[in-house]
Every structure is written in structure tokens, then in C-alpha cells.
Amino acid sequence: MGQAAWKGLVLALFDYKTAKFVVAKSKKVGVLYRLLQLSVLLYLIIWVFGIKKSYQDTDTSLQSAVVTKVKGVAFTNTTLLGERLWDVADFVIPFQGNNAFIVITNLILTLNQRQGTCAEHEGIPDGKCSQDNDCLAGETVTAGHGLKTGRCLRVGNSTTGTCEIFAWCPVERRIKLTEPFLKDAEDFTIFIKNFVHFPKFNFSKDNVLETTNKTYLKTCHFSPKNLYCPIFRLGTIISWAGTNFQDIALKGGVIGIYIEWDCDLDKAASNCNPRYYFNRLDNKHSKSLSSGYNFRFARYYRDHNGKEYRDLIKAYGIRFDVIVYGKAGKFSIIPTVINLGTGFALMGAGAFLCDLILIYLIRKRGFYRDKKFEKVSGHKAETQEAKFDVKSKDLDQDLQDEPPEGNSVGEAAPLQEQPQAL
């Protein structure tokens, strides 16, 4: 690169560009520009400030506490247990996780289990055997119920049998479920009390109506018109979640109860109301063998000889997960100014787009480009102005030296006409 080119590059660093306003009489570009301005304006008014409420400072660090309580009774009459009444102490497991509880709807009971030796269940692959060598003593039965003793138990002349194990005997019963054990659970009621607090704005609220009527919670039920009675019928929750109670009660499932708090604190506190949503969280359409929800627990006793025994319960139930979320918003000048500045910047982007169309895309782009951009050099301008002043002075001198028209050479022309005497 030559010296002149380097000099031009260095001098270009000190150029200053200033805006030049050109009124372009182009209807197409003018209409496009107004449409862009209108679009940005509507976006700001409707979406940013109307729907998103971006003029507010928000608090999403919701602090929440949930208290649940289930009420109801169910009656059963079976050959195994006879007539029996079940209440909340029998079918509700309160501590199964954070903000979660379980209502048992189906049972498989294995009564009077005692520790000893017995045959492993024939449905356990690792418990099958044809000789004693297949049952290594002390080895755990994979997916089974105890430890192998080293003996293979066969019935009659059968060539295969099951390993003898040390376990709680008899081993757990396996039966095919055809209907829910606790059919009446559909009419149980669930009380869900929820406290929320937004620390940024020091605002707190709960979902229970403030009243002095002590019988209110004993008689009311939740409805879209009665948001502050948090007592729900179990069957109604299941139907709102899009499933059938008898289907989910057979093998269990998981239901999500969502409580949303979306509070506009520029309005009265009475306008901050909870919204409830219900959804089945486990895959109800799955064909998996492990579909549903179940767990095991036992109740332990001692007989008159001090020997321990237990009743094993495989419970199928509906697990309810209470999920609380939300946000609160209140007017603040900072987000308002930021979003207004963003809107003005978008309008500037619209003008930039129209400039690109005007000087690069339309048919008369060359003409508008010449009008839009102009290079001005201060040094050249001063030189041209000086040359113009010199030419003006020479012209004045020529006019003074040239004799007036109509006079002969050597005759002096009068400078001015003498006034006549009055």
C-alpha cells in the first residue's frame, strides 16, 4: 500500500459523520415506515405494557407452605378380613415427600408372616431350581424375598422346583387385581391449605376465606365461584385431571395439583386469587408392567409367647403432588424506562430499514443515494471561497477601469448630475 493510501486511511479516522435529513417523496417507503412505527407502537401498548405488564418490577421468589388433610371412611367385607371399616388412619400416608400425600385405594394383604424357612415364589426366575446345587446357601434371591438355604424344594416327581429361603414366611401373595379394594374412596374429601409470601413486596396471603363462621369449612366445597374453600372431592379432582377414578384406583397413579398465584399489586389485595390446575403426571397410556403407583409397608405384632409377626401390605394408591408457583408485580420506573427505550430503539431500526430500501432496493436508488450522502472538505471549501473572492475583486477592478459607454476617449465623465438651481 502506497504512502498516499496510508495517509488517506489515517485521515479517514478523523472524519466526522453527521445526519443529513432528506425528505424522500416515495409513497411506498413512506407507507412502510408508518406501518413499522404503528407496529412497534401497538407492540409496546398491547403486548409489553398491556399483557406482559413490563412496567412492573416482579418477584418470582415465592415462599410457600402447604397443609393437607384427608377425611372419609370406607367399608369392606372380604373373606380374608371380614367386615371392616377403614378411616384416614388406615388409608392415608401423609409423609411421602415434600408437599405430597397418598390415598390408598387398593391392597394385597399377606397376613401373619413370621421369620423362618419356606419355598420361594414360583414366579421368581432366580428362585427356580432342579437340584440343590442351583440354590447356593447364603445367596440372595434376585428380585425375591430372602436368602437361599441350599435346598431345592420339588413337589412330587417334578423335575423343577423352587429354592428354599430364609425370609418372612409365607412369602407375599400375588393375585390379579380386578377392582379397587376401597371403592368408596371416590367420595373422600381433601383439604389443601396454602400460604404464600412474596418477600420483595412483603405481601402474604392464603387460600382460606377469612371468616368467623366455624362451620364454614365443614359445609363448603371448592368451585370456580368459591375459590376460598379449599376442600376438594377426590373423585372430582381425578375427573378434572382427565381420568376415571375406577381406572386409577385399581393400580394407582400420580396426580399433580397446581396452585398458581399471579398477583398484580397495583390493584387491591382482593384481586390476588389462586388458580387451580389438575393433571395426571404418570403415563396413563403406558403399557408397561410397572405402570401405576404402589409401595409396601407392614404392621408388626407379638403373640403371647413374645414371637414377632407381621401383616404385609402391598398398597396401590393415588399420590397427590401439590405444586405452588407464581409471581407478583408492582409498578417501577426502572423497567418502564427500559422498555420505553427499547421501543424507541425499535422505531430507529424501522427508519434504518427504510433507509436501506430507499438507497439500495428501489428503482431510483442512485438518485436518493446521491442526495443522502455528501462529502464536504473544509480545506477545499476555504480554497474555493478564496478563489471566488479574488475573481470578484478582479471583476470590480475591470468595471472601474472600463470607460463609460457614450463618451470619447479623453473625455471625463461627470461623477454625478449637478442639481438645477431653483
Span 18-70, pLDDT tens digits:
666 767 777 778 888 888 889 999 999 999 999 889 899 999 999 999 988 88
Task: Tell me what pLDDT residue 229 has.
Answer: 93
Q: Give percent helix, percent strand, percent coil of the chain, each to the nearest 5.
A: 30, 30, 35
pLDDT at position 15, please?
74
pLDDT at 74: 85
> Which is more confidently placed, 404 or 253?
253
> Burial, 119: exposed, middle or buried (Cβ in 10 Å; 0-12, 13-18, 19+)?
buried
Nearest to 112 by CA among 300, 380, 354: 300
pLDDT of 411 above 80:
no
Indicate the pLDDT class of residue 332, thresholds 50, 70 and 90. Answer: very high
Structural domains of the chain in order of their starting residue, each with its CATH number: 25-55+332-370 (1.10.287), 63-120+171-331 (2.60.490.10)
Asked whether 330 and 201 are in contact (CB, 8 A), the reply is yes
Helix (H, G, I), strand (E, B) or coil at 211: coil
Digit-coded pLDDT (tens) for 104-147: 999 999 999 999 999 999 989 999 999 999 999 999 999 899 99
pLDDT in tens, 361-390: 777 777 777 677 666 665 555 555 555 555
Segment 199-246, tens digit of pLDDT: 999 999 999 998 888 889 888 999 888 999 999 999 999 999 999 998
Q: Is 95 exposed, middle or buried (0-12, 13-18, 19+ CB in 10 A)?
A: exposed
Asked if the peptide bond before residue 180 counts as cis, ω within 30 degrees of 0, the response is no
The percent of residues above 70 in pLDDT, for the chain, comes to 83
| Section 257-285 average pLDDT | 91
- What was the pLDDT predicted at 384? 54
DSSP state for residue 81 in the 8-state scheme: T
Rounded to an integer, the average pLDDT of 346-373 is: 77
Give the residue-averaged pLDDT of 262-291: 85
